[in-house]
Amino acid sequence: MAKKASKKDVAQLLKKWSQQFAVLAPSRESGVAAMAEWDGKDTSFLEWYRNTVVPPKASFLPPMEEMFRFHKDEEGYQIEPPSRNGQKQLVFGIRPCDARAMAILDMTFEDAYQDPYYLEKRKNAVLVGLGCTNPCQSCFCTSMGTSPTDPTDVDIMLIDIGDHFLIEEVTAKGKELLAKTGGLKEATKNDEAEAKKSRETAYNKVSRKLDTEGIKDKLLDSFDDEEFWSQTAAKCISCGICTLLCPTCYCFDINDEVVKGEGTRFRSWDSCGFPLYTKMPMENPRSEKWRRVRQKVCHKYEFYPMAFDVIACTGCGRCIRLCPVNWDITQVIESVPEKVKGAK
If one compares 114 and 261, the residue with the highest pLDDT of the two is 114
Place 28 in a pLDDT band, splitting at 50, 70 and 90: very high
Judged against a pLDDT cut of 70, whether residue 344 lies above it is answered with no
Residue 341: the pLDDT is 45
Average pLDDT over residues 323-334: 97
Judged against a pLDDT cut of 80, whether residue 32 lies above it is answered with yes
Q: Identify the sign of the CA torsion 247, 45, 320, 267.
A: negative
Judged against a pLDDT cut of 80, whether residue 109 lies above it is answered with yes
User: What ranges do the domains of the chain cover?
Assistant: 3-205, 215-335
Residue 337: the pLDDT is 93
Place 261 in a pLDDT band, splitting at 50, 70 and 90: confident
Percent of the chain at pLDDT exceeding 90: 87
Cβ count within 10 A of residue 160: 22
If one compares 342 and 53, the residue with the highest pLDDT of the two is 53
Q: Identify the sign of the CA torsion 92, 97, 102, 103.
A: positive
Judged against a pLDDT cut of 70, whether residue 10 lies above it is answered with yes
Place 116 in a pLDDT band, splitting at 50, 70 and 90: very high
* Gap between the Cα atoms of 243 and 272, Å rounded: 8
* Best CA proximity match to 49, nearest among 73, 33, 60, 61: 33
Across 53-57, 239-243, 274-278, least confident range: 274-278
Q: Per-residue b/e over 276-313, b at no fewer than 16 CB within 10 Å?
A: ebeeeeeeeebeebbbbbbbbbbbbbbbbbeeeebbbb
Residue 87: the pLDDT is 83
* DSSP assignment letter at 198: H
Average pLDDT over residues 192-203: 97
If one compares 47 and 341, the residue with the highest pLDDT of the two is 47
Helix 226-233 and helix 289-298: axis angle, to 10°? 90
Query: What pLDDT, in 10s, does the model give residues 68-107?
Result: 999 988 888 899 988 777 789 999 999 999 999 999 999 9
The CB-side HSE value for 309 (13 A sphere, CA atoms) comes to: 1
Judged against a pLDDT cut of 60, whether residue 118 lies above it is answered with yes
Helix or strand run (H / E) with residue 53: none
Query: What pLDDT, in 10s, does the model give residues 140-175?
Result: 999 999 999 999 999 999 999 999 999 999 999 999
Average pLDDT over residues 208-228: 95
* Residue 315 near residue 148 (C-beta atoms within 8 A): no
Judged against a pLDDT cut of 90, whether residue 278 lies above it is answered with no
Residue 342: the pLDDT is 44
Average pLDDT over residues 281-298: 88
